[in-house]
Structure 1
Amino acid sequence: MGASKYIRQSFAETQGSQIYKARLRVWRQGHSMERVEKPLNPARARELGYKAKPGYFVVRVKTKRGKRVRNRPAIGRKPGKNRKRENPGKPWQWFAEQKAMLKHKNAAVVGSYFVGADGERQYFEVILKTKQ
């Protein structure tokens, strides 16, 4: 087996461990977007196009979980439009990429992947490359 296969296996085994839970506690208290020195799952990051070169960097983005809440007025609306929660039609990973693009306007998104979730948030690592 190659090194990336071992890394992939070790990452899959840590989902229920104490290290994973401690990591989530730290992320929960942090900001909604934080720049990371190295990707948490290097095998997955390399599959998506990450290179350990100047110009490539990784950002961890915190997003919501579940359906999006939209308050709509009940008066004068069709019965089908009175929903309080509705599905945005796009995955939260897409919203994480958009959030990273808005913050780092000088960079383009290379890819993103899921790194964890707690009760109300999901965490994604977005790989960005500076435009030249």
Structure 2
Amino acid sequence: MGASKYIKQTFQNEWKGSKDDNYDYSELMRKRGIEFRKEDRAVVKLEKPTNLAGARSVGYKAKQGIFVARARVRKGTGTHHRPKNKRRPKRQGQAKLSRRISTQAMAEEKVSKYFENAEALGSYKIAEDGKWHYFEVVMADRNASTIVADKNLKYLAHGHQGRAERGKTFAGGSNKITNLKNKRKIRAKKALDRRFG
């Protein structure tokens, strides 16, 4: 097995919380969560990725112009204000509402806004605790000479700004598909209502 397979296996054991004769993987995840919670910033630039196999799968390379940042996103369904107009309690729509985009896409947008000169290539989940989800986002500096010279990444330097905000990453794209499906359902329902009144 190569190194990346061992890394993947270790992280899978951490998420499962499995215990070995030699090691308790759940303790490793718990300690990492405690370290992350101590940080006072929502976005932190890292020297190297925590999960190297996960970072490489979304486009990370150990070269100038590519870096990794960790972002935290609050758990839960977010704040939903009570509607001002009248309606019956069933239709107030405060509880049991899901967010329009995933927490992973939120993390990518957060990091993208923090580093304005860079674009998000992809992200992966690294940890979670009772309050936060933690993601690592792989970023590429679109003005770096190494990125402009790279045949696979030079498109970032020419009119590909705001990838995370426009849903061009994997996490953002899946949200676009879900929202489009919902939109089609609503449109079809309205058409039936108009037809059969």
TM-score by length of 2: 0.62
- Choose which of 125, 143, 162 in structure 2 pairs with 1:114: 125
Shift of 1:73: 3.5
2:57 — aligned with what?
47
Unaligned runs of 5+ in 2: 18-25, 144-197
Task: Confirm or deny: 8 A CA contact 1:115 1:123 kept in the other structure.
Answer: yes
How far is 1:19 from its partner?
Answer: 2.4
Aligned CA-pair RMSD: 1.7
Q: Is the 8 A contact 1:61 1:125 kept in 2?
A: yes
Paired residues for 1:1-132 under 5 Å: 1-15=1-15, 16=17, 17-30=26-39, 31-73=41-83, 75-77=85-87, 79=89, 81-85=91-95, 86-132=97-143
The unaligned stretches of length 5 or more in structure 1 are none
Aligned equivalents of 2:84, 2:137: Cα separation in 1: 38
Aligned length: 132
Residue aligned with 1:126, SS:
strand
Higher helix share: 2
Q: Which structure exhibits the higher relative contact order, with contacts defined as CA atoms closer than 8 Å and separated by 6 or more residues?
A: 1
Question: How far apart are residue 18 of structure 1 and its match?
Answer: 1.9
- TM-score, normalization: structure 1? 0.90
For residues 105 and 27 of structure 1, what CA distance do their matches in structure 2 show? 24
